[in-house]
Amino acid sequence: MAVRTILHYPDKRLRVKAQPVAEVTDEIRKLVEDMAETMYAAPGVGLAAPQIGEAKRIFVIDIAPQDGPSDLRVFINPEIGTKTGTIAWEEGCLSFPGLHEEIVRAATVTVRAQGVDGQWFELTAEELLGVAIQHEYDHLDGLLMIDHVSLLKRRMMDREMRKRAAQDARV
């Protein structure tokens, strides 16, 4: 297992549409382990493969409290089915460190995906888990939280992240 580097906006790799996983192999299971370790080290509640430069349709989520047991969930080749209602949630993103914005998403979402065993499962989720699934799923299609805010907030977030990227490049 290894902690990978998380890409930060405006890295263009975050906009690449991820490709389906043809088969759940040992290499894919190793990637999932690296993703989980990276997410926990950050720390965060979710991480999509494109956020570490892997254009694969995989994300991991663990919404368990930090002092509680792990509840790692792995989604390979996820497909979002039904979405109902709306909920506003203050979201953060490991690719936008330190920034949080209220985003409106579906209140309840159903997802079908493969686990690390390659078996398909279906899950209906709401609250934080439902929001996290939608957030990470967006990453697989090259969509980011900045795409869900007003034009004014988008400009402010873009300016802040580009300023940070320029400072990081000088270091």
Tokens linked to 35:
């993703």
Q: Indicate the pLDDT class of residue 24, thresholds 50, 70 and 90.
A: very high
In whole angstroms, give the CA distance from residue 76 to residue 18: 11
H or E, element range at 128: helix 127-140
* Segment 142-167 mean pLDDT: 94
Mean per-residue pLDDT of the chain: 96
Instruction: Please give the torsion angle defined by the CA atoms of residues 154, 168, 14 and 20, in that order, rounded to the nearest 10 degrees.
Output: -160
Amino acid at 98: G
Tokens linked to 102:
């209220």
The CATH code of domain 12-170 reads: 3.90.45.10
pLDDT in tens, 45-100: 999 999 999 999 999 999 998 888 999 999 999 999 999 999 999 999 999 999 99
In whole angstroms, give the CA distance from residue 111 to residue 14: 22
In whole angstroms, give the CA distance from residue 9 to residue 25: 30
Max Cα separation, the chain? 46
In whole angstroms, give the CA distance from residue 110 to residue 125: 6
Please identify every residue annotated as catalytic.
Answer: 136
Residue 147 has a pLDDT of 97
* Segment 26-49 mean pLDDT: 97
Q: Computed from CA positions of residues 2, 53, 150, 86, in that sequence, does the dihedral angle turn out positive or negative?
A: negative
